[in-house]
Amino acid sequence: MLKYKIMETNKRTAGILLHITSLPGTPGIGTMGAKAYDFVNWLEKAGQHLWQVLPIGPTGYGDSPYASFSTFAGNPLLIDLDDLVARNWATAEMIKPADYIKNEGPVDYGSVVWWKIPVLKNCAVYFMENASKEDRQKYEAFKNDESAWLNNFAIFMSIKEFYDAKANAEGVSGTASVWNAFWPKELAKCDPKATSRWAAEHVKEVEIYKVIQFFFQTQWLKLKEYANSKNVKIVGDIPIFVALDSADVWSHQELFQMDKKTGLQLKAAGVPPDYFSATGQLWGNPLYDWAAMEKTKYYWWVERIKRLMDLVDFVRIDHFRGFDEYWSIPYGEETAINGKWMPGPKKKLFDAIKKALGDLPIIAEDLGDITESVIELRDGCKFPGMKILQFAFDANEAGAEGFTNAFLPHMYPKNCVVYTGTHDNETLQGWINESPDKQLMNCASYLLGRPVDAGEAKSMANNGQLCALMVKAAYASTADMCIIPLQDVFGFGHDTRMNTPSTTGANWAWRMDENLLNDTDKANWLKQLNYYYGRV
């Protein structure tokens, strides 16, 4: 049985949330190259021992890391091209960026994909033709070790590339061009004979996708090794659901709520109407057939967790609530209103994972409408939950009994992770800028331990004092783990927000300024906070 080392429960620690795409200094998008190592060095100077990233799978429509073509594969866009040249897996001329690709500013995913994917394919061909004997052996070992997911992924992407091009040529777009609506019946059903025949007829195309994954894994494991050598652990992220347009669903249709005859989706994931949305949220992901999963002893989930644990040190599972009960929406609905709660696998899933892999360092994203049964599941598994400081200072928070909101630092259990905000929240300074006077007064009064009027609260908000005090409060909290988005460390506003849920077009694009890696004042500040609040 594999064993993964978990953090000591009495050890307080802290770190930074920053996705790889937000790193600076490389054409078009952040990569696993030199600037990633510079960031690890900055974390070390700041006394930080955690680096949390978003999901690292290959992204598709909408550019969301939470909607990937594979939960097992790595995102090719994160591959550093200079490193390929340094390894003699490409030439300098091959990786020259197009004129429209810039090293600074927000990520333009359309342009990056248009330029970088063909470059990576050319590099893969170069590798196949010029790799040294030693590198060839490493590649063959990689293919053998990862064959359980790699073969299906490479075949899926090869077929997808062909039929996406065909769909575009015929004027078909959007979801109508995915595998279960546009591919030939035998390929859509992932028929073994049909897929084997495709692989035999498209050897080079399939192999290219495998080589690119080898590039990714080689660079990722090297970066992780370096981070660990600096006493920095990587916190990975895994969505509870996977995308319909993925190798995962295509190659394991029997494990999802799909029509066995037509291959079409029966139910869709989402959340019901609530205070934030009168129609709920319709995510659209296929739902798991948990009964079918149980018959396999949850093998697919075990492999999914094992794969990510091979790449990171901690795993944050998004929408943990869905393992207790999930919101099931009939496929084709335009909103989430007509869904209903259905029972999830509950603790049976995590017992199976523990039996196969041992105790795991899992963080449960337990935000939203959380019931007692969800709390029992989280605590029964001994997983730390999440606390968000932005949720602590409602305008009506202070009552006769004082401040008692569960998201306030003095209310936390030890076994949790405190954040000022997540990738889905407004930045902390952006939240402060948008807060009503009463909320600012509550926040400032709590942090200073005395009554604060509206004028003083606004002054603290405008000069950045309130933002800094909230970061300090997170470090001072009782939570064992403290993770702060990099934007909040520097007090950046709305224009650096990573994601606004239920919107498309301007998300996941923020990139940090390269000069921040040379900032010693913030690094020293965080190191002092670590010392004062026992997170060393």
Give catalytic residues, as residue numbers: 318, 365, 424
The neighbour count for residue 185, using CB atoms within 10 Å, is 11
Residues in CB range of 70: below 8 A, 6 or more apart: 57, 58, 149, 153, 156, 246, 247, 248
Q: At which residue do the structure tokens 């007692």 appear? A: 372
| C-alpha distances in Å from residue 237, one per residue of 18, 303, 430 | 12, 15, 24
Residues in CB range of 494: below 8 A, 6 or more apart: 426, 427, 430, 433, 434
Rounded to an integer, what distance in angstroms lies between the CA atom of residue 216 and that of residue 213? Answer: 5
Residues in CB range of 91: below 8 A, 6 or more apart: 85, 126
Q: Closest by alpha carbon to 488, among 15, 11, 12?
A: 15
Query: CA neighbours within 13 Å on the CB side: how many for 136?
Result: 8
Q: Closest by alpha carbon to 342, among 287, 419, 404, 401?
A: 287
Rounded to an integer, what distance in angstroms lies between the CA atom of residue 338 and that of residue 329? Answer: 6
Rounded to an integer, what distance in angstroms lies between the CA atom of residue 383 and that of residue 371? Answer: 16
Residues in CB range of 168: below 8 A, 6 or more apart: 177
Q: Closest by alpha carbon to 16, among 52, 66, 58, 44?
A: 52
